[in-house]
Structure 1
Amino acid sequence: MLQQIYPQVSHHFQYELNKDMQIAAAHFIPHEAAGKCANIHGHTYFVNITVAGDELDDSGFLVNFQHLKKLVHDKFDHTLMNDHKELFNHQNSSDFPTTEVVARKIWEIVQNYLDTLPNQPKCLQVFVRETPTSYVVYRPKAGKQ
């Protein structure tokens, strides 16, 4: 995987971890204004998830990297994003599988998992690169963390 620097999040936590992953997936944007993107097409998405917290778990991890990979990579790799009906739909533009929405949905998946952990880490941001020249960063508003 290409090593790169991601936008940094200012925070007060003692620990920060970042998990990179590559996801090969297809999607289409169900809207007439999407132009060519209304057709099914694929990307090799580069995803970076930033998690922070003050307490480590019983195994000495803030969060196990394998769990993040299972939550995101194993769910989306080699799939059609639009087929994930529990996340995306064709009626509400806030749920179209655009890169912006994909980043937000990944944050929701990760944060929902983190909320179950006793050490309560927080997902600070999700970075999704769709193409070599286009990426999105999703950060929750204060109070959502």
Structure 2
Amino acid sequence: MIQQIYPQVQHSYQFELNKDMHISAAHYIPHDDAGKCQNVHGHTYFVNLTIAGDDLDDSGFLVNFASLKKLVHKRFDHTILNDHSELFSNQDPDYFPTTEGIARVIWEVVQKELDTKANKPKCVQVFVRETPTSYVVFRPKQKGRQE
């Protein structure tokens, strides 16, 4: 595996973990300005999740790496992203399956699960590389506490 260097997110948490994974998936962008990307095509996306927190769970983990892979890889790998109509939209451009939209949706899926954990970890960054030369970083807006 090639070692990746990611943009760093500043936070004040004690622990930070990063989980890398690849997702092979197809999509299309339902907009005239998307050009050739209006047609169904695929990518091998590289995804990095950055999770941070101050407290470990009863198992000694901030978050179990396997649970993160299940949330993202198992759900999206070898699928057509547009078919996930509960997450992506063909009408709302904020939820088109662009790289930006994919990064936001992954954050929403992961953070929803993290919110159920007693130790309250936070997904502070989602990095999605669509091609060798193009990637997106999604960082949620912080409410209240300055991280």
- Same fold flag (TM > 0.5): yes
Matches within 5 A, 1:6-45: 6-45=6-45
TM, length-normalised to structure 1: 0.98
**Counterparts of 1:108 and 1:3, CA distance in 2:** 26
| Percent pairwise identity | 70
**Counterparts of 1:19 and 1:121, CA distance in 2:** 14
1:43/1:61 CA distance change after superposition, 3 Å? same
- Secondary structure of the 2:130 match is strand
- How big is each residue's C-alpha offset from its partner over 1:52-85, in whole Å with a ceiling of 9 and x where there is no partner? 0000001000000000000000000000000000
CA RMSD of aligned residues (A): 1.1
Matches within 5 A, 1:120-135: 120-135=120-135
- Secondary structure of the 1:7 match is coil
**Counterparts of 2:27 and 2:129, CA distance in 1:** 14
The alignment of Structure 1 onto Structure 2 pairs a total of residues equal to 145
**Counterparts of 2:144 and 2:88, CA distance in 1:** 21
- Secondary structure of the 2:20 match is strand
Segments of 5+ residues of structure 2 without an aligned counterpart are none
1:80 correspondence with 2:64: no
Match of 1:11, as an amino acid? H
- Secondary structure of the 1:112 match is helix
**Counterparts of 2:55 and 2:99, CA distance in 1:** 32
Structure 1 runs (4+) greater than 2 angstroms displaced: none
- Superposition deviation, residue 144 in structure 1: 8.3
**Counterparts of 1:28 and 1:92, CA distance in 2:** 14
Equivalent residue number for residue 54 of structure 2: 54
1:103 correspondence with 2:103: yes
**Counterparts of 1:142 and 1:54, CA distance in 2:** 16
**Counterparts of 1:3 and 1:25, CA distance in 2:** 22
**Counterparts of 2:95 and 2:109, CA distance in 1:** 14
